[in-house]
Structure 1
């Protein structure tokens, strides 16, 4: 989170001090809030999984939602990895 917030500050400072670089929108913060939301969602999912494992009562849809989320993240990660490996092979 600290690294993302520092990156936001650095990007904002560079954009403010380099008149050559112009964006079609006003840059405030982007990376910090994105990382914070990703972290909170990941932790909530982890807490729910542990509660289910320990036998806490839960709605029937909760494990399905958690599994779908994991599958979606895995799929995107695999697609990015395959794409990057394809680029590396193509460059050789």
Structure 2
């Protein structure tokens, strides 16, 4: 995604409760923002939400512990083992 395209992804609105301007990620452009990450995953499955949060979160000060990604990897391993036929 090019820098100029990023600004069509970030839009300014008035906060409905605080009545102050704030910036939000336009939901219609989320796929364009995530497309490079989805391509990079290859055959490896990833948790879309955790990937999105770890990509966008640092911009607003959100820091996810590494354990979030690790827990998902371990859960995938367990589900794969349980799904195998006998």
Q: Which has the higher helix share?
A: 1
Which one scores higher on RCO, CA 8 angstroms, separation ≥ 6?
A: 1
Rg (Cα) greater in structure:
1
Q: Which has the higher strand share?
A: 2
Q: Same fold (TM over 0.5)?
A: no
TM-score relative to the length of structure 2: 0.32
